[in-house]
Structure formats: structure tokens, C-alpha cells
Amino acid sequence: MTSAVEQRGSAAVTAVSSAEQKTWCRPHLLGLEDLSRDEIMILLDTALALQEVSTRSIKKVPALRGKVVANLFFEDSTRTRTSFRLAAQRMSADVMDFFVATSSVSKGETLADTARNIEAMGVDAIVIRHRSSGAPHSLAKQVKCSIINAGDGSHEHPTQALLDMFTMREHFLPQGRTIADLHVAIVGDVANSRVARSNIWALTRLGAKVTLVGPTTLCPDSFAGFGVNVVHSLDDVLPHVDVVNMLRVQFERLTSAAFPSVREYSRFFGMNEQRLSRCREDVLVLHPGPMNRGLEISSAVADGPNSAILRQVSNGLAVRMAVLYLCIGAASFTSRNTPSNP
């Protein structure tokens, strides 16, 4: 007898194939700003179908067999790099990890030359994280393989926002509530956060109400131009939201002191048990990680029943499988249909 999970899995995979044939045609995932509502939904639905693979005893499908994915990370990362690696492996792709500190980049090679050399080895997709905003976009113009943005400066982190939304859907859909029904607070260092920007683009496109909360130095009023609310009191907002997405304070990107002391930041903008008691009972608490425990979030909240922080990590795998599957598939489709040069 097939289990509910298996039934859902096979039905969803069928749905994925037809949805994907209909509308997904991008070889790259550079950000969420340019994506339509339908494209975001295809990514989320495909991730839902692929989530089931990780529940099997043999956690592998042949979808990307024979394909090669290269991880090219110019900034530190444990979670995202590992998640992309495992996602590619679950789809049977081969994975190459490039360590920038020990590569030719440290001898002065340009990003484009590094990428072209990697591509010349027959790579189908490059997953790139770079400290410069726009690096993946410029690379996409210089190579033929798929480029997946794993975080560019403070600009975008599309797979993080997708996994955040996937986690919201997972929590609220059983109650019959879609993303469009949700009020999401994004709290803290919005100014330096690529996670915040990607979330803003996608959540507003899907119809959610978004409120940004933080000190004026880290959450300037100019963000209201993105179609979101901007406020500076966390306590006032908490009773009205369904999701609280706590951002890490990006100390490495701060050019000057953005708040008087860590203690003061935590006093006004840290999520703790006392603040949680002001929230709706089923509020969902998210954090992209790595967490500064005791600063933007207390351990009691991070490890408590409203926290979906580890679910986010698990869901990241399904989301990244979907991104690789759709983009590499679209890239091969495009090249198959591009007339070869005479």
C-alpha cells in the first residue's frame, strides 16, 4: 500500500513536470526581483514535490545524472554551501567545490576568467556567493552555463527567501492560509541584508503584507518605497503579525556603529520570551542563520516551539534541489533549441 507521502510525492512530481514545461524557462536564478508570481510559485511547488526525496531510505533521484554543479563561494558559508552540495547530490549531479583562498583567484585571476575555466571543464551550473552585489548577474553574461546566486553582497539571497516562504506555506497552508493572507515582520539589520531584500520582492509579489522593523540606522524609512511598512518599535508590531523573521546583525558589513551597544540593541530589537508572549499564539519565528544568540534572538525563542529555524534548514534542501532542477533543465532546453552556428 502506498503511503500518503508517496502518493503526494508522485502526484506532485506529475504536477511539477507539466507546470515546469508551461512556464519555467530561466537558465539562471539571479534574484527574485524580476520573477513573476507564477515563477515563484513554480519554484515553491517544485520544491514541495522534491521534498519527498529526502524522506526516502535512498535519498536520491536521477534527475540531474550526468550534470555537474560547481560551488564557487567568495564569502564564508557553511549552511548554504553544504545545502547546495547535498541538493545537487540528491539529484545525482556531480559537485565540485572551489575554495577561493586556495584557488587562482588568490593569484589575481578575474572572476570571469575563473568562471570560464570552470565552465571549460564541462560544468552545467555555477553556484556563486560573492561580496559584490551584482557579481552573479555580470557572470551570467559571460558564461553559457546556469548561474545560481547564493548571495551577492547586500543585494539578494534568492534561495534563502524561497526557503523562508516555503516554511511559511508549510506552517500556514494546513490552516487554509496562503502567503497572501500573511503579515510578515522582517526585523533588524534590514539595510545590510540580502535576505531582507529577496524576501521583500517575493513576499510582496505574492501579496503578503510586509513590515520592516529596526533602528533607523539599520532600517531606514526609504525602504517604504519597496511597497512595505517601515516602523521602529518592535513591541508595537508583534501582536499583529503571523511571522517574525529575525535578521542577523551583519557586523562585517557595518561601516560605523549603528547602535550604541549590543545590550541596547537587544533590549529594543531582540526577540525574547517576554516579546514572544506579545505575539499571536501560533506566530512563526524565523532566522536565516547564523544566529547571534542573545543579541537578535534569545536561545529560549530560537529553540522554542514557535521557532522554525531548523525547518528552514531542512526546507532549504528541497528549495535548492528545485532551483538546480529547473535552471539546469531550462539551460539544456535552451541550448537544444538554439540553432547551432553555421
Question: Catalytic amino acids?
Answer: 79-80, 107, 129, 157
Number of shown-chain residues binding ligand MLT (CB under 6 A): 8
Binding flag, residue 194, ligand MLT (CB under 6 A): yes
CB 272 within 8 A of CB 301: yes
Binding flag, residue 195, ligand MLT (CB under 6 A): yes
Quick one: 51 or 149, whose CB is closer to ligand MLT? Answer: 149
88, three cell numbers: 545537487
94, three cell numbers: 556531480
| Dist CA 157 CA 30 (whole Å) | 9
Quick one: 179 or 295, whose CB is closer to ligand MLT? Answer: 295
Q: Where is 229: in which H helix or E strand?
A: strand 229-231
Binding flag, residue 188, ligand MLT (CB under 6 A): no
Among 248, 301, 308, 312, which residue sits at the site for ligand MLT (rule: CB under 6 A)? 248
Kindly identify the residues of this chain, within the stretch 104-143, that bind ligand MLT according to CB under 6 A: none
Binding flag, residue 160, ligand MLT (CB under 6 A): yes
| Dist CA 161 CA 167 (whole Å) | 10
Distance in Å, CB of 189 to ligand MLT, minimum: 8
Binding flag, residue 288, ligand MLT (CB under 6 A): yes
Distance in Å, CB of 101 to ligand MLT, minimum: 18
Give how far Cα 130 sits from Cα of 15, 71, 137, 148, 339, Å.
34, 11, 11, 11, 33
| Dist CA 110 CA 104 (whole Å) | 9
322, three cell numbers: 528545485
Binding flag, residue 165, ligand MLT (CB under 6 A): no
Quick one: 124 or 164, whose CB is closer to ligand MLT? Answer: 164
CB 73 within 8 A of CB 129: yes
Distance in Å, CB of 292 to ligand MLT, minimum: 9
Quick one: 196 or 326, whose CB is closer to ligand MLT? Answer: 196
Short-list 82, 138, 144, CA closest to 320: 82
In the complex, which residues of this chain contact ligand MLT (CB under 6 A)?
151, 157, 160, 194-195, 248, 250, 288
